[in-house]
A and B are shown apart, each in its own frame.
Chain A
Amino acid sequence: MSRAMTKRVHKALTDENLQTALTRLLGLIKFVRQLAFTGLDFESLSQEIRRVKENSIANLPQLVEQFKSQATKAGAVVYEAEDAEDAVKYVLKLAQERKVKHIVKSKSMLGEEIELREHLQKAGIGVTETDIGEWIVQLAGERPAHLVGPAIHKTIEQVAELISKATGQELGTDPQALLDAARRALRQTYIDADMGISGANIAIAETGTLVVVTNEGNGCMATTLPPVHVAVVGYEKIVSSWKDAAAIFRLLSRCTAGMKMPVYVSHITGPSRTDAIPGTMLHGAGGPGEVHIVLVDNGRWQMRESDEFREALYCIKCGTCLNVCPVFASVAGQVYGYVYQGGIGAILTAFLHSMDKAEEVASLCLGCMACKEACPARIDIPRMITRLRASLAEEKGLPMLNSMAYRSILKHQPRLDRVVRIGSYLQQPFVDADLMIRRLPGPLNALTQTISLPALSRNFLRDRLRDYSSPKLTDKPKVAFYSGCVGAYAYPEIGEQVMKVLTECGAEPYYPAEQACCGAPAYFAGDIETALNLAKTNIVALEEMKPDYIVTVCPGCAAVLQREYLNLTTAEPRWNQRARALAGKIRDFSQLLLELTPSMPKKPSRNQKVTYHDPCHLRRGIGVFNEPRRLLEREGFEVIEMADSDACCGFGGHVVLSYPELSKSVLKRKLDNIEAAGVETVITNCLACVLQLRGGLDKRCSRIKVMHSAELLASTFEITQ
């Protein structure tokens, strides 16, 4: 968290124009994605891209040599630039030697990264961006708000004003008229330009070919009409063959624009040429006489060396991760403060720009994993964000307060108990009769402005479940209950209900008293030592009575127990083995219930409609989303699907604490969807989500009840009994 970022977030959230534009954009994106992905085998197509990119990056040194040799043979000039400065210097020198006065440029993220336009303009050369969105942003003197849609943050009124001013005419807000004016203005700039600059979406080694993709046609014109064509290309764009390029096309446009193929894909191999004039083969026939390809490193080779971050190079810059990112949906791209935005932006920024900037970008991540699920190159962005935070923590150390909290409190469960108990006394003056906290003093009040908080319990779950501390000797399946901190201190009654329902269903549940925090807060903040310590504590506590299952009510904890403990213990084989055994036993509450009672018949209808909110870590973290619905239906409830049931509630990461205003905005969309479902009860299988949704609905004075599946089921038993 930084003060500058907090300010930018606030500005974006209160910018009415931006929020209007974003609402429109979200609708468009949803429509486009439905159009593009219905009936498509996304999984196998994305695996194919993954394979292509993995191979390309693995063989990069050879492919670079092949590309260089083929492109040179075709008459192009290839220059290898070490960093941004080197690349800019080459292009500037070339422009000056060719006495270039005006340049047309088609969109290039690398161009943004090395600030090519700015540098050329500073040297007195005119540069016009030719992608209409990019042109609008240039006219406004801003940075692009999205990888693919640079001007998505602008309203039609703002665009009308900018284009009117640029073309010297009084234009209204009719989109068609604005487009016509833009086309005419841009058309002349291609004709007048002395140089065209492009990036490349792909570079093909087998033939030395640049591939430039546009839907507007500007790429074709910018690379054909001017006498000199310069392409700035990141090394990671190189693939081996035309067939590899085809694999990328299969998803690229579906992701960017909902289309099967981009409208124009220009393959450029060397400068234009002709043998029509007798005597010689000449370059510069109806197209550029020179093609310069600037291959840019600027941190990319270093990224390639890193086992942890290499996969960021597989990014095909389609912008999908932004389209599905709940934070992006709230604040758009300019908030990030650098060219590369969203989760992948944090990683790219770290290598291509600076760690400080990257830390800011990463701090906005909710950890909802929507990007990971949608990425056509199967990049595990959330994993890299965690690693990034860890290496930042290692490098700079954690903030004093966090570090103290993790090392001296979280790590020792009795201390944590004590701290919570103190909290439960301190909260007293602010707790309302219904055990909710709706306002807090001083700066803490920022927390209760977004959501009402549940009062901390004084009667912890551990004390309530004293009689359940070990399983009885029976033939029933032994189920260890792992409650997580929210379950232990904020909602102990839900834990009791879990035990009740499990017993009712023929299991032998027990509550291992030695269990501690799963370590997620420390782990995700980068305090690996504390996380490992907690992992060991929990492995010991949970395996002790040899349970058949371990049931969780907090998928955040479940994901850590199941996956991250394996990662944490890789250096210690014996612990790793124990972690693996543990992982196989983890079940979500609903998942376990269905597994324990597979043949239980469907109950008669209760005439009660509920809606179900998919917790991020349950759906995308451990892949459970059918089971909770099936269980509800089996129990006689009618499940009404809300819109975007799997969108984050806004609680994730540190965002709820660091940027409460942002969390509130994400929560707002969720609550709107819940209310629109028109039911009285929303069910979710995550106690953190329960906390956030209850708190948010309470602020709205809504009557909609938020319950964990265990609570709902326990309530039906009460009725029957």
Chain B
Amino acid sequence: MGAQVAGLAAQFKAEAGKAGAMVYEASSAEDASNYILKLAQERHVKNAVKSKSKVADKIKLRKHLEKAGIEVIEADLKEWMAQLAGEKPTGRKTIGQVEKLISKATGKKLNPDPRVLLNAANRTIRQYCIDADMGISEADVAIAETGTLIIVGNEGVTRLVAVLPRIHVTLVESQNLVPFMEDVITRLKSLKGNIAGQVVPGYVTYITGRNTTADIPGAVLARAQGPAEEHVILMNKAARRGSV
């Protein structure tokens, strides 16, 4: 880790911590997976939902949790279909294949109409998000100055995963830390995965620490309407490389 990145990581950790997040610096892929598994077990997590995350794939997080008996649902539509098919989410599918997968998952015979299929998928995934104990996201950018995570996506589930479950875990690669808020837009514009014609992803959610409210008299209370716990796993190069 370069000195500059280390400096940003330290600043990020301090600021996010002050805002009520729990930041863990993972020393390796195993370390990251084990930390999340241990957290899930301690908090009696039975099911988790997961947004698209390259780094989670790299450290094989889903498998690691599933092996321990925790259900993990991919909330991103492509990832979910791949999960249903038991494949990697790379190859393109025909509408017929999609129809079969979603019909099977929802237990209903569906028309091979894109809108019908999407609506059925939405309902199912949304319910998973509502019922999940843990949400797992990746922050494509994070701001050191304020300890802010930036979670992006075009599907609404990126936000449901981050807000609905009682525990939210976010993976951040240390090279994605930027010093200041003003640096964010340049990163967003250069993200891969933006749909054609798009300048920035449809949803860009900044999360700083844990949600709170001062609306009930007498105290400033944590966990207003979002998760009770915000965990951040900060991954440096060594942690990203290996596999479990």
Contact = CB atoms under 8 A, between A and B. Distances in A.
Given A220-B163, A220-B226, A221-B163, A266 B202 contact: no
Contacts of A341: none
B77 interface: yes
Given A272-B202, A286-B156, A149 B210 contact: no
Given A179-B221, A277-B114, A133 B215 contact: yes
B146 interface: yes
B155 A220 contact: no
Interface in A122-157: 130-133, 136, 149-151, 154-156
A694 to B, nearest CB: 37
Contacts of A264: 163, 205-207, 211, 226
A445 B205 CA distance: 59
Q: For the side of the interface on B, what is the size category? A: 35 or more
A220 B162 contact: yes
A573 interface: no
Contacts of B221: 175-176, 179
Contact of B216 (A130, A178, A257, A284): A178
Contacts, number: 224
Given A217-B224, A246-B182, A149 B206 contact: no
A257 B224 CA distance: 14
Interface in B94-120: 94-95, 98, 114-115, 117-119
B206 A261 contact: yes
A159 interface: yes
Interface string A258-301: 01111111111111111111111110111110000000000000
A183 interface: yes
B212 A131 contact: no
A186 B122 contact: no
A287 B205 CA distance: 14
A191 interface: yes
B217 A282 contact: no
Interface string A223-264: 011000000000000000111001001100000010111111
Contacts of B146: 260-261
B114 A282 contact: yes
Most interface-central of B75, B119, B155, B162 (chain A CB within 10 A): B155
B88 interface: no
Contacts of A221: 163-164, 225
A487 B208 CA distance: 55
A216 interface: yes
B117 to A, nearest CB: 6
B231 interface: no
Given A242-B185, A273-B195, A277-B98, A266 B205 contact: yes
B19 A287 contact: no
A191 B118 CA distance: 18
A206 B66 CA distance: 43
B92 interface: yes
Contact of B155 (A209, A261, A265, A273): A273
Nearest to A155: B217
Nearest to A178: B216
B75 to A, nearest CB: 7
B126 interface: yes
A24 B218 contact: yes
Contacts of A243: 182, 185
Given A133-B215, A209-B200, A286 B155 contact: yes
B122 A278 contact: no
B52 to A, nearest CB: 11
Interface in B164-187: 164, 180-182, 184-185
Interface string A174-187: 01101100110011
14 contacts: A70-B199, A74-B198, A132-B224, A154-B217, A159-B217, A179-B213, A216-B226, A220-B159, A259-B208, A260-B19, A267-B204, A274-B78, A286-B126, A286-B155
Interface of A: 21, 24, 28, 70, 73-74, 130-133, 136, 149-151, 154-156, 159, 175-176, 178-179, 182-183, 186-187, 191, 206-207, 209, 215-218, 220-221, 224-225, 241-243, 246, 249-250, 257, 259-282, 284-288
Interface of B: 15, 18-19, 75-78, 81, 92-95, 98, 114-115, 117-119, 122, 125-126, 130, 146-148, 154-160, 162-164, 180-182, 184-185, 188, 195, 197-221, 223-226
